[in-house]
Chains A and B, each alone.
Chain A
């Protein structure tokens, strides 16, 4: 059995069924890409996997480390080792990025406000942060700012990957991380993700376009149409989609996204 197993996942939003039975096995060390046209259920997949309260699970199981993560709260899923890089990172005023990163890291380490030995030491935290900032071509000035507040599109996405780098998940879901990014930002983000690739990390990249896959080479590609996978295979599928788009499955291609 793979490290992370999605079996027959069905989910709905506001009473409308979106995911109609999705199954996928991800092992650590692998990079999977889920591609699909708009409205195919890509966002529903990422949100359902992380436990967003607006999405209702109608059936299926997601197994990770022997637990059905669908029964866990989002914070429990995160502490178990899951991570979601948001397509639209949320603004939270009044909390600095530093404070946020430290709190999240301490939560991950099991610090509940009591056992101080579980807290990350300030020096370790700073040096860790500095390394990751460098990789993402970000500077310190970003740390005292409030969470995603006034960030440009590129800054938000880089901040997501910074969080991922700090939290070291075992299963990372990147939801449309390339949308709205200029080519330099895509390169920095891809470089950071590639640096984390390895036997301890499984990655699920959710994307409409093939562009990010030029920089982060997937091992497997799955095509999601109308809430179901219609095709699975190797990286060659991405090349095929690059040429033909989703016309095989949908009659009208959605208008191109403005990058």
Chain B
């Protein structure tokens, strides 16, 4: 005998459709930061109590920690003048006409499709790439892979979430990780089960919405034993936002024999302070690779790190930074060798132009007893004119024996000889300069999926022409 399923309109939205409509509560976006706002964010998201408490604890930590003074100048950030949580609908108040002309021009020249540029510009909350995403989801689910946004993960996979959240980067790690833990929203959550290899790169792009592009994303990736995943976030087109602070946290756990690659291409509009904490724990014979490209923003401070926890673990950072007029890219990497027989490499490439400034800041730490470790750091800076600047700040602490530590740094200009050589073959000066710059970052570009590599080269071309704001 057939039974009629019981339907309670309005109460099972959340289970059935994954969304909910809060009743009798109107969230009004407010500037500034206090426990009430943090509680409201948590309430809006219907979070469990432990998360609400963790947010509140983190807020305390954030308030107590002094502003870091060792890097770029952050004194101009006004924490009281920032919206810490905006619903997607609030974000759509901008219109296409409000956009700065240089951003529009860049979309044009990069050939970004209409729907996509509206999304990137924050004019639309959703970029429709759902078809790709849905067929992918089916495949992933069959393998037991979880790929979702971090808010949904907290709701749908509470135990897994609680086991790992905040374990790689505790709130007290630094002022901005505390801030992120207090007000985080959006980001990606990935779990790859034992022995599963995800063959195609997972791109945040497949399922981005306004929340994911938020200021305080929180990403958590767990690669179980023997698994593999490549995650890609960002895109080369500039992301326009009126929010001045972007402070994300990315935590990754790479278990025994697993491998994770995390690729970022970010191109924030030049009003943004981009202060991101990224860290991975790599266990026995595991490999963690950060591929990190930083364009845009006013100030970026980002040092992806790997804690090499067990013998055989391997960490790799490959980064590129481009600083134009008025920009400071302070980027690098950290490798913390906790266990013996671990290896790491950091390759940093930076380009400064029009008075822009790039800094490499790196830390290699080798703990007592972590013998037979190898680490190699290479940083190359390219200056395109005399006003631009590049600095290197390498810090090494070695407390173990039989360690191989290499550091190589070069600063160069686009050489007259190279330019003359290319021009003598009929290639115009501007094109020759762009070729040299693209050649300089080629070790980075060749690690990217083709479409990203092509876009990055085009973007460099635009930057070289000075047509990107």
The interface of chain A, by Cβ under 8 A from chain B, is 50-54, 73-75, 77-79, 83-84, 86, 89-95, 100, 103-104, 107-108, 112, 146-147, 163, 167
Contact = CB atoms under 8 A, between A and B. Distances in A.
Given A74-B420, A86-B421, A89-B421, A95 B442 contact: yes
Contact of A103 (B416, B420, B435, B440): B435
Contacts of A91: 418
B442 A163 contact: no
Contacts of A95: 435-436, 438-439, 442
A72 to B, nearest CB: 11
Given A93-B439, A94-B439, 17 more contacts: A51-B420, A51-B423, A51-B424, A52-B420, A54-B416, A73-B429, A75-B427, A90-B417, A90-B418, A92-B418, A92-B439, A95-B438, A103-B427, A104-B426, A107-B425, A107-B426, A108-B425
Nearest to B416: A53
B436 A107 contact: no
Among A51, A77, A92, A108, max chain B CB count under 10 A is at A92
Contact of B424 (A74, A103, A147): A74
B455 interface: no
A74 B423 contact: yes
B418 A78 contact: no
A167 B438 contact: no
B421 A107 contact: no
Contacts of A89: 421
B382 to A, nearest CB: 11
Nearest 10 CB-CB pairings of A with B: A94-B439, A94-B442, A78-B426, A104-B425, A90-B421, A74-B423, A107-B426, A75-B423, A95-B439, A79-B426
Interface of B, helix, strand, loop or mixed by DSSP: helix
Interface in B417-449: 417-418, 420-429, 431-432, 435-436, 438-443
A192 to B, nearest CB: 17
B439 A163 contact: no
A50 B419 CA distance: 13
A17 to B, nearest CB: 21
A86 B431 CA distance: 21
B454 to A, nearest CB: 13
Contact of B432 (A52, A75, A163): A75
Contact of B422 (A53, A83, A92, A167): A92
Contacts of B426: 75, 78-79, 104, 107-108, 167
13 contacts: A53-B420, A74-B423, A75-B423, A75-B426, A83-B424, A89-B421, A92-B422, A93-B440, A94-B439, A95-B436, A95-B439, A103-B435, A107-B426
A237 B19 CA distance: 92
Contacts of A83: 424
A75 B429 contact: yes
Given A54-B416, A75-B428, A146-B439, A92 B423 contact: no
B440 A94 contact: yes
A94 B429 contact: no
B421 A92 contact: yes
Interface size class of B (residues with CB under 8 A): 20 to 34
A163 to B, nearest CB: 6
Contacts of B418: 90-92
Contacts of B416: 53-54
Contact of B428 (A52, A77, A107, A146): A107
Contacts of A84: 424
A94 B422 contact: no
Contacts of B420: 50-53, 74, 90
Contacts of B436: 92, 95
A99 to B, nearest CB: 8
B381 to A, nearest CB: 14
Among B418, B421, B436, max chain A CB count under 10 A is at B421
A193 to B, nearest CB: 18
A167 B425 contact: yes
Interface string B330-368: 000000000000000000000000000000000000000
Nearest to A93: B439
Contacts of B432: 75
A104 B423 CA distance: 9
A209 to B, nearest CB: 24
Nearest to A75: B423
Nearest to B435: A95
Nearest to A88: B417
B423 A94 contact: no
Nearest to B428: A75
Nearest to A86: B421
B251 to A, nearest CB: 33
B442 A93 contact: yes
Given A75-B426, A75-B428, A107-B428, A94 B441 contact: yes
A92 B414 CA distance: 10
Interface in B375-392: none
B462 to A, nearest CB: 12
A100 B431 CA distance: 11
Nearest to B427: A107
Contacts of A163: 425
Contacts of A78: 423-426
A107 B431 contact: yes
A90 B427 CA distance: 15
A43 to B, nearest CB: 13
Nearest to A91: B418
A93 B420 CA distance: 15
A146 B438 CA distance: 12
Nearest to A82: B424
A100 B432 CA distance: 10
A148 B427 CA distance: 17
A109 to B, nearest CB: 9
Nearest to B442: A94
Contact of A94 (B415, B431, B443): B443
A20 B439 CA distance: 39
Nearest to B349: A94
A91 B443 CA distance: 16
Among A104, A112, A163, max chain B CB count under 10 A is at A104
B431 A50 contact: no
A53 B424 CA distance: 11
Interface in B129-166: none
A250 to B, nearest CB: 29
Contacts of B431: 103, 107
